[in-house]
Structure 1
Amino acid sequence: MTDSLMQRGDVKALLDKAAGLDNDTGDRRLKQIVRRVLSDAFATIEAFQVTPTEFWRAVDYVTRLGQSNEAGLLVAGLGLEHFLDILLDEEERKAGLEGGTPRTIEGPLWLAGAPLAQGEARLDQDPEPDAETIVMTGQVRDPDGNPVPGAVVDVWHANTKGGYSFFDSSQSAWNLRRRIRTDGDGRYAFRSIMPVGYGCPPDGTTQELLDRLGRHGQRPAHIHFFVEAPGYRKLTTQINIAGDRYLHEDFAFATRDELIVEARRETAPEEIARRGLSGPFSTLTFDFTLNREADHLPETVVLRAHATAA
């Protein structure tokens, strides 16, 4: 016998009615999900004796979270986006698919329609005199190690202040964003600047909650990628730069050991001259392996709201 209100008939009826389970119209799956979410919320309120004041403060927080457009940031910070990756990894494993480049979170700052280049591109449009130049190269391959020509490598990253173009009005349109179509050997290359790690807006709603949880809101330096090719599963991933102080303390839980890349410092005068640069630079190398698409596998093309360039 339990004294929990969750066992009372009137509470169960309230949950069913609130979720629309007392009628035959609407979306059955959505009703079941809403019923579960409400039930868990009711049980949490009861178990922790959440007061009306606490409850309405939480409602106010959710309202402010939406107004600040930080929902995408918070779901990463609470591990929800990483859990979706864990779930998709497990679904693929159960379906018999293993291997390929590990996925990790997309984050909230991708922008559709970046300029498309053939084989190689330069990402940095805006002058940053103190920024370190990087040259990144690699190959897109199939599970057997064969090159995938014509794959599209969509790359985006932050500048030296931790800002992303479009979201940071000080940057020009498409700065540090490009799509690169791989050449006949499946290779891609780009020149850019070394990104830095950054944190949640210190006065924002996400950091407000993290502060209450005793957590920081910092990310290590990273570069985002979508990699796509006909007949292959879309890859959403990002690389981390080795040596960053937050490498294994990413507030968004996105670091995976297989995605850590060493930046190699190049100081040879002949190599600097060959690149047309005026001083030392760093090279990064990373190869992507795409898995083949199959009907029995879970979907990897995620439909979610994104910012749209003007």
Structure 2
Amino acid sequence: MQNLIETALTDLVISRIKAENSRNQEVLTKLVKHLHAFVKDVEPTEEEWFKAINFLTQTGQKCDDKRQEFILFSDVLGVSMLVDAINHRSKSTITETTVKGPFHAAAQAFEAGENIARGIEAERGETTVVHGRVLAPEGNPVANATLDVWQSDDIGYYDVQDVNQPQMNLRGIFKTNANGEFWFRTIKPAAYPVPTDGPVGDLLRASGRHAMRPAHIHFWIKAEGYQDIITHLFVEGDEYLESDAVFGVKDSLVIPFVKNTDTDLAAKWKVTAPFFEAHYDFTLAKK
């Protein structure tokens, strides 16, 4: 009887899936098949299986309106980047995508050139100007595109993690002009650890892995007639580019943050020298 259960149970469970939607039928069937195969391969003890269930329970309990532990769980297992890769296969002329991450939140709209760094971060951090264009595949400018931007501060914290930061700090929404241009002021982001005070942190420690992400700025770009894009700009030279905890780095998204002492250029960008300058042109795919 025991052998019968082990060999026949998977087929029995699958035989009872009778979804009206064909995609639901496919996904649920494969979920049961692969999950059962995993259990047969690993042969967990009952104690280990309940520990796994408790891990998932704690992961859900750690989620709130400011933190998404399940996204973080997906990220550190490389699943988020695998889904990203499947959905954005080989578009050589289009800006590459990467993970959304768990820290996206509501942001206020800014005019071009405004500073998204407020509070002590603006005084403590290294002034940075980020500018570029949003383009169509053929190189034409995309006017009125929306850029939703968010980043960590100079010591590696997002506003939703740090009660000392103002709400909506280091995040903002910008529009491109008629030439597809955008620019804003901020501070240079820092490398930081993903949160390790929850189940995902336990998982990383059990795996013998570090929790660090290389310094970056997030971008979520939308424009009428074009596919949305979620991506990062990574700081060239960061020590964690080759070992990002969430596997999100792509070479095309690593750019220099150039230190500039030109006072005339500083005046143009409404900052004081020295400052850092980061330039990137995003190319969107048409719908």
TM-score, L = length of structure 2 = 0.89
Query: Match of 2:221, SS?
Result: strand
Letter in 1 for 2:192: Y
Asked if residue 166 in structure 1 is aligned to residue 170 in structure 2, the reply is: no
Q: 2:83 maps to which residue?
A: 84
Q: Which residue of 2 aligns with 1:261?
A: 255
Q: Deviations over 1:78-121 (max 9, x none)?
A: 1111001110123xx5xxx5521111111121123x22234333
Distance 2:141 2:207 in 1: 46
Are the equivalent residues in 2 in contact too, given 1:119–1:187 (CA < 8 A)? no
- Tell me: CA distance 1:29–1:144, structure 2 relative to 1, closer, same or farther (3 Å): closer
- 1:121 and 2:120 are equivalent in the alignment: no
Q: Is the 8 A contact 1:154 1:178 kept in 2?
A: yes
How many Å separate the matches in 1 of 2:255 and 2:152?
A: 17
Q: Which residue of 1 aligns with 2:219?
A: 225
Q: How does 1:33-48 map to 2 (within 5 A)?
A: 33-48=27-42
Per the TM alignment, residue 292 of structure 1 is displaced from its structure 2 partner at its CA by: 1.3
Residue 66 of structure 2: aligned partner: none
Distance 1:11 1:149, change over 3 A: closer
The whole-number CA distance in structure 2 between the counterparts of 1:178 and 1:254 is 22
Code of the residue aligned with 2:104 in structure 1: it is W
Task: Give 1:203 shift.
Answer: 2.9
Structure 1 position 190 matched with structure 2 position 189: no
Q: Distance in 2 between matches of 1:256 and 1:159?
A: 22
Shift of 1:271: 3.5
- Given that 1:77 and 1:252 are in contact with CA atoms closer than 8 Å, whether structure 2 keeps it comes out as yes
Q: Please give the alpha-carbon distance, in whole angstroms, between the structure 2 residues aligned to 1:209 and 1:166.
A: 23
- 1:234 counterpart = 2:228: yes
5 Å-filtered alignment, 1:20-39, equals: 20-21=17-18, 27-39=21-33
Q: Which runs of 5+ in 1 are unaligned?
A: 294-310
Distance in 2, matches of 1:239 and 1:215, equals 24
User: What is aligned with 1:135?
Assistant: 129
Shift in alpha-carbon separation, 1:279–1:98, aligned structure 2, 3 A = closer
Distance 1:4 1:118 in 2: 68
Aligned-pair CA distance for 1:48: 1.9
Could you tell me how far 1:135 is from its partner in structure 2? Answer: 0.4
Compute the TM-score of the two structures, normalised by the length of structure 1: 0.83
CA-to-partner distance for each residue in 1:122-170, whole Å, 9 max, x for gaps?
Answer: 1112222331010011011111111111111111111123222234332
Name the SS of the counterpart of 1:192 in structure 2: strand
Change (3 A) 1:275 1:291: closer
1:131·1:193 contact (CA, 8 Å) conserved in 2? Answer: yes
224-233 or 277-286, which deviates more: 277-286
Query: Does the Cα contact within 8 Å between 1:77 and 1:253 map onto a contact in 2?
Result: yes
Number of aligned residues: 279
After superposition, the Cα gap between the structure-2 partners of 1:274 and 1:27, relative to the gap in structure 1 and judged at 3 Å, is closer
Following superposition, the deviation at residue 4 of structure 1 comes to: 8.7
Partner of residue 103, structure 2: 109
Aligned pairs for 1:281-300 (under 5 A) are 281-293=275-287
Q: Distance in 2 between matches of 1:105 and 1:201?
A: 16
RMSD between aligned residues = 2.1
Q: What does residue range 191-210 of structure 1 map to in structure 2 within 5 Å?
A: 191-210=185-204
Counterpart position of 1:306: none
- CA shift at 1:6, angstroms? 5.3
Q: Contact 1:6–1:43 at 8 Å: present in 2 too?
A: no
Letter in 2 for 1:89: H
Identity %: 30
Deviation at 1:30, TM superposition (A): 2.5
What is the identity, as a one-letter code, of the residue corresponding to 2:207? Answer: L
Q: Please list the CA deviations of residues 251-290 of structure 1 after superposition, one character each: whole Å capped at 9, or x if unmatched.
A: 1111000001101111134434554544411000000111
